[in-house]
Amino acid sequence: MSRRILLVNGPNLNLLGTREPEVYGTATLADVERITGAAAAELGFEVRAVQSNHEGVLIDAIHAARDDCAAIVINPGGLTHTSVVLRDALTGVSLPFAEVHISDVYAREQFRHHSYLDDVAAVRVVGRGVDGYADAVRQLAALIP
């Protein structure tokens, strides 16, 4: 079995560190990738990271993960609340995945309370800041034989 985890960050997460720091903190996307990679390495995994503001790019990356990844950690950003096709891609590849949100979506606008992924995600980490990515890796690793 592969010892690789796909890290997927969706729309606007390239703006981490500068976008609404009062909500998302000051850590950058590079920090997220470093934190996730370090947690994975501690458990004998490597990470391949992708970020895109385009839904199709994310779906293509998820499809490709089927060939060489054991799991997926995803922060779908705003696609959480809108994308049935992202859900279909994740369930279609039959890999365990963790849904991560930096902010506490339940303490924000009502529309953010709904996730198309929550009932199919193996792991959910919400409101733990960027450290939530490391938590997600650890929880997912425990599910991988």
Which of the four pLDDT bands, split at 50, 70 and 90, describes residue 1?
A: low
Active site residue 24: yes
Which one of the listed residues 101, 106, 114, 133 is annotated catalytic? 101
8 A C-beta contact, residue 78 and residue 71: no
pTM: 0.94
Indicate the residue type of 51. Q
In the chain, where are the structural domains located?
A: 4-141
User: Which DSSP letter does residue 93 get?
Assistant: T
Summarised one tens digit per residue, pLDDT across range 42-99 is 999 999 999 999 999 999 999 999 999 999 999 999 999 999 999 999 999 999 999 9
- Strands of the sheet containing 71-75, edge to edge, are 46-51, 4-9, 71-75, 97-101, 123-126
Domain 4-141 has CATH 3.90.650.10: no
Residue 109 confidence (pLDDT) above 80? no
Active site residue 116: no
Summarised one tens digit per residue, pLDDT across range 10-36 is 999 999 999 888 888 899 999 999 999
Spell out the residues 6+ positions from residue 141 whose beta carbon is closer than 8 angstroms to its own.
40, 43, 45, 71
